[in-house]
Amino acid sequence: MIKDRRPYYIRNLIENYYKFWTYYFIKPQFRSVGKNLDINKPWNLDIYGDDIFVGNNVHFRTSKNLITQICSWNRNDANARILIGDNVLISPGVKILAAEEITIGNNVMLASNVYISDSDWHNVYDRIKTPGKSKKITIKENAWIGEGSKISKGVIIGENSIIGLGSIVTSDVPDNKIYAGNPAKEIKSIDIDKEIRKREELFISDDYDKLIKYLLKEDLKNNSFISWIRTLVFPKRGD
């Protein structure tokens, strides 16, 4: 569909079901979690491990065809941690796999199918023992990782930096740079004299839930139950 045709009360019912599922089945799997955790289709979020810390206003986007996965490995002498800061966006198909430590700073955006792993998971000569050689990863504040990119063990992504579509990052990226390619190399610098808007601006309102409900109601105010059913049963061009 080009536009969400659901009436507001149907959409609100679905959103409340997401919240119910998140509260009872997702939140208990995190070591700590901040306010306003927002997960669409939360049953498509696969979580493994104990030491996963999630900040405020974190958005997980999932899809039935793209499972989003977070793994903090705590077997075979590994005691991994994953630390996710405030206002982070994690898109469908993202995989975050830690055997040591992965830190994702405030306002970071991870596009679909990004793969972040701090371990080789097996040794060159011993392919049974896990997790193999590991080294922590740090993605600093306001970084943006493009779709399908892969971040290797030991890498630091600098503040405000951007990783281009499908890149393979095997070494550190400085602050305020755009990197792309395989292996990723510098493409250009970001002009630090220009203002960079951050995701935190979305959450300035003291009553986040009230704001979201208002925006949804405005967006869907012209929808009706009859027209919604018609688009499901007899869709036509423009729906």
156 contact partners, CB below 8 Å, separation of at least 6: 137, 138, 139, 140, 172, 173
Q: Which domains does the chain have, with CATH numbers?
A: 1-29+205-239 (no CATH), 31-197 (2.160.10.10)
For the segment 50-88, what is each residue's pLDDT rounded down to a tens digit? 899 999 999 999 998 889 999 999 877 778 999 999 999
Q: What is the dihedral of CA 88, 140, 151, 76, to 10 degrees?
A: -90
Percent of the chain with pLDDT over 70: 99
Q: Tokens at residue 84, please?
A: 């996710």
Is pTM beyond 0.75 here? yes
Mean pLDDT taken over the chain = 92
The closest of 13, 63, 56 to 38, measured between CA atoms, is 56
The closest of 146, 170, 176 to 158, measured between CA atoms, is 176
Coil, strand or helix: which one is 183? coil
The closest of 28, 37, 20, 44 to 95, measured between CA atoms, is 44
Which helix (H) or strand (E) segment is 20 a member of? helix 8-21
User: Where does 144-223 show beta strands of DSSP type E?
Assistant: 144-145, 150-151, 156-157, 162-163, 168-169, 177-180, 185-189
For the segment 151-162, what is each residue's pLDDT rounded down to a tens digit? 999 999 999 999
Task: Kindly report the length of the chain.
Answer: 239
Q: What is the largest CA-CA distance in the chain?
A: 64
Instruction: Output 35 or 129, whichever has higher pLDDT.
Output: 35
User: Where does the chain show beta strands of DSSP type E?
Assistant: 32-33, 38-39, 45-48, 52-54, 59-60, 68-72, 81-84, 89-90, 95-98, 101-104, 109-110, 115-117, 137-139, 144-145, 150-151, 156-157, 162-163, 168-169, 177-180, 185-189
Q: Tokens at residue 208, please?
A: 């986040």
